[in-house]
Amino acid sequence: MNSESSYLRYLAKHHGDVFITLPERSWFNRKCRFLQPVCVIIQQTIAETISDTDTHIVDSTPVPVVKRYRGANSPCFPRGKQTNYGYCASKKEYYYGVKLSLILTPDGIVTNAGIHAANTADINALKDVLTGIDTTEMTLIGDKGYYDGELRTTLANQAGRLVVPDKKRHHLFNTPEDKQLLKQCSIVETVNSQLKDLMRIEMTLAQSYGGVLTRLWGALLSFTFGQLHNLRHGRPLLSIKGILV
């Protein structure tokens, strides 16, 4: 459910014996926004509990907040450092909103994430997410948009690696081992698809930037909690749809 009003009505109708006194929607919305940092901590704690690898895949996915033609005149999302116009290469179209940068394991567990304006370069968004993270012995796998000599050198000095498809002008062709690692990037498409189709991250219905942050981190928390549920019941980690239906 991507509507707080629908969620509260659902609880009142189907679980009224448990939730005897429900808050009004505005109070519920404020409480959710105040608890957004707590959602981040819980999500990352669960992810650390169920993941045990130093190999991570990096990618980003667009999250529109309003229709493209309304972007420049939106009173809720002014054009600037938080929300802006961006280009989605997979759909070959422009959008107005934010970019969700993900760091996940080859099993599809999101260990870290960042939310930036849509016009932020992928590599700059990744560097921001990596701030404060111990990258010692970490192997990062990404597409050509994450090629960066400085980051590669930094990881190499910490016994880590940056594996991306090498551009011909750099004359650094990938080894057979690198090519095997790059094949693991396909898991990103599955995770992005589930976040959009099941967690509805493209339909946040938020009316402010803080609301967008709350909805996106709430979606990531629900997604990660579903993976924990599947792990404890011996199910595939990405069988999230089976929980919902």
What's the pLDDT at 115? 95
CA 142 to chain CA mean position, Å = 15
User: Are 99 and 89 contacting, i.e. CB atoms less than 8 angstroms apart?
Assistant: no
Same domain, 24 and 134: no
Tell me the two tokens of residue 56.
């991570």
Is the model's pLDDT at 170 over the cut of 70? no
Tell me the two tokens of residue 141.
């796998």
Same domain, 3 and 67: no
User: Are 119 and 144 contacting, i.e. CB atoms less than 8 angstroms apart?
Assistant: no
The domain in which residue 68 lies consists of: 39-244
Please give the average per-residue pLDDT across 108-123, as a whole number: 94
Across the chain, mean pLDDT equals: 89
Same domain, 18 and 72: no
Q: Which residues contact 50 (CB under 8 A, 6 or more apart)?
A: 109, 227, 228, 231, 237
Same domain, 4 and 80: no
Same domain, 90 and 52: yes
The two beta strands, 93-104 and 161-163, are unpaired
Dihedral over Cα of 108, 110, 114, 116: its sign: positive
Same domain, 47 and 19: no
Single-letter residue type at 13: K
> 54-96, pLDDT tens digit by residue?
999 999 999 999 988 888 788 889 999 999 999 988 888 999 9
What's the pLDDT at 171? 65
Same domain, 5 and 111: no
Same domain, 15 and 135: no
User: Are 56 and 108 contacting, i.e. CB atoms less than 8 angstroms apart?
Assistant: no
Provide the domain count of the chain. 2
Buried b (16+ CB within 10 A) or exposed e, 186-203: ebbeebbebbbebbebbe
Same domain, 16 and 113: no
Write out the E strands in the chain.
55-66, 84-88, 93-104, 110-117, 139-141, 161-163
What's the pLDDT at 151? 85
> 210-243, pLDDT tens digit by residue?
999 999 999 999 999 999 999 999 999 999 988 8
Same domain, 8 and 129: no
Instruction: Please give the Cα distance from 131 to 135 (Å, whole number).
Output: 9
Single-letter residue type at 122: D
Instruction: Please give the Cα distance from 102 to 57 (Å, whole number).
Output: 8
Same domain, 75 and 152: yes
CB neighbours (10 Å) of residue 98?
27
Same domain, 78 and 197: yes
Is the model's pLDDT at 166 over the cut of 90? no
169 phi and psi angles, rounded to 5 deg: -70, -15
Is the model's pLDDT at 39 over the cut of 80? yes
Q: Kindly tell me the burial class for residue 105, based on how many C-beta atoms sit within 10 Å of its own C-beta (0-12, 13-18, 19 or more).
A: buried
Instruction: Give, as one character, the DSSP assignment of residue 133.
Output: S
What's the pLDDT at 234? 92
